[in-house]
Each structure stands twice: as structure tokens, then as C-alpha cells.
Amino acid sequence: MLKLQSITKSYPSGAEMRVVLNGLNLDVDKGETIAIVGPSGTGKTTLLNIIGTLDKADSGTVLFENTRLNELNKKQLSSFRNQKIGMIFQLHHLLPQCTLWENVLVPAIPLNDKSGKTEKRAEALLKRTGIWEQRFQKPSELSGGECQRAAVVRALINQPSLILADEPTGALDEENAELLAKLLLELNNEQNTALIVVTHSQALASKMNTVYNLHAGILQQKK
């Protein structure tokens, strides 16, 4: 489903360039769950942003369902990202002026679905994640765990093929972190959505099928 070939990425560091990704390769199958671990500053978020088309590699190829993402223009990338990828961050990034219900439907606006299927899906997911009763509340009226569950629903609303999660449990207490991890894996299993998680949490990483350590710009699979 997803193939990264010889991905490189560098950033200016004083008078020199700091290499973050150095000929990195990765293959991801449909429904697979992957954790990427490693110290801060090694390029984990950069890698996730390249996969999610929020950033571009200096060189290399990103293939998604046989489409070369490197060759898409900005409009095509925006459409691709909206329909094929769901993103979850450490901070939920919910719109503070909108209700939970409005927030989870934001990614569906460009699709202009008049059939009601998207709203039915939103209802089912909110009930599934236990936050249906809070749908008319704004983020400031919700707990951190509730906001993060809403972010998961928002990421899933357009039925993406791939979920990218950057430290999704980093701002949660142990109980809510465990609940969110359980939820992500249940939804992955039910919907056969591939899941890539960047995390410092060994507890979360251990729940994934495959764990990679990002070291010296390449991925090394942990046994």
C-alpha cells in the first residue's frame, strides 16, 4: 500500500546541513500497525510529515497505492491527504470555536456529501468512542482524553487507508493513554486501516505488529 524508497531529508544547521533521513526505506501493507521509536530530534515527525504529504523529501520516492506522491501538485496532494490519510497529533488541534460534532465533520466539508452517510458515520464513531453525549460541547468543555478521542474520530471520518499518529498519547495520563491505544487498535482491526505511530511510549509501541527504531537516518526493525 505504501512504499518509501531511498528517502533523504536535511535541514540547515549553522553553516552545514544536518542529515535527518538518509536513504530511508519502508514498506507498509494494508491493515498493518507500525511503531517508530527513537530519541527526540532523530526525524520521526519529519518522516511522518513526509508520508502525510505535509513535507517533501529532498530525494527519494513515496508510492501510495501505486501513485507517486512526489509528482502530485498542491491541489492533488490536498485532495489525496484529505481522502486517504487521517492524522492524529499529540495536541488534538480541535477548533476551539466549534462543537465536537462540527470538529469531527471538518475534513468531510470538501466532499460535499448530501447523502447523510458521513453524518451517520460520525454518529457511529462518536458512540463507538463514548463521546456521543458530548457532541454539542466545545473543546474547552471536554477533558483531554475526550478531545483526543474526538481527534481520532475526525481522522477516521473520511475512511482513510492510513492513520498517522504523532505521539497520540503523549499528553494523556496512563489510564487515558491505555484507552486511546486500545481504541486505535480496535478501529484498525475493524476497518483494516494501516496505522503508523510515532511514540516515546514503550507501552504503546509494544502493541504494534512491527516496531522500528529511527537511528542515523534509517529505520532498524526491533526484534
Phi-psi region of 10 (alpha: psi -120 to 50; beta: other; left: phi over 0): beta
The per-residue pLDDT of the chain, averaged, comes to 92
Global pTM reads 0.91
Give the residue with greater pLDDT, 141 vs 40. 141
Read off the pLDDT of each residue in 23-30 and give the average, rounded to a whole number. 95
- The per-residue pLDDT for 183 is 86
* Residue 183 belongs to domain with CATH number: 3.40.50.300
Task: Report the domain count for the chain.
Answer: 1
For residue 223, pLDDT over 80 is answered with no
146-166 pLDDT tens trace: 999 999 999 999 989 999 999
- The per-residue pLDDT for 43 is 93
d(CA 26, CA 127) in angstroms, rounded, equals 35
H or E element that contains 12: strand 2-13
Residue range of the domain that includes 6? 2-221
d(CA 208, CA 187) in angstroms, rounded, equals 13
Read off the pLDDT of each residue in 63-80 and give the average, rounded to a whole number. 90
- The per-residue pLDDT for 49 is 94
For residue 13, pLDDT over 90 is answered with no
- The per-residue pLDDT for 55 is 92
C-alpha pair distances (Å), 55 with each of 16, 40, 77, 123: 21, 18, 11, 32
For residue 186, pLDDT over 80 is answered with yes
- The per-residue pLDDT for 215 is 92
Phi-psi region of 9 (alpha: psi -120 to 50; beta: other; left: phi over 0): beta
Q: Are 126 and 158 in contact (CB under 8 A)?
A: no
101-137 pLDDT tens trace: 999 999 988 877 778 899 999 999 999 888 999 999 9
- The per-residue pLDDT for 95 is 95
188-216 pLDDT tens trace: 888 899 999 999 999 999 999 999 999 99
- The per-residue pLDDT for 6 is 96
End-to-end CA, the chain? 23
Give bridge partners of residue 7 from the DSSP assignment.
24
How large is the C-alpha radius of gyration of the chain? 17
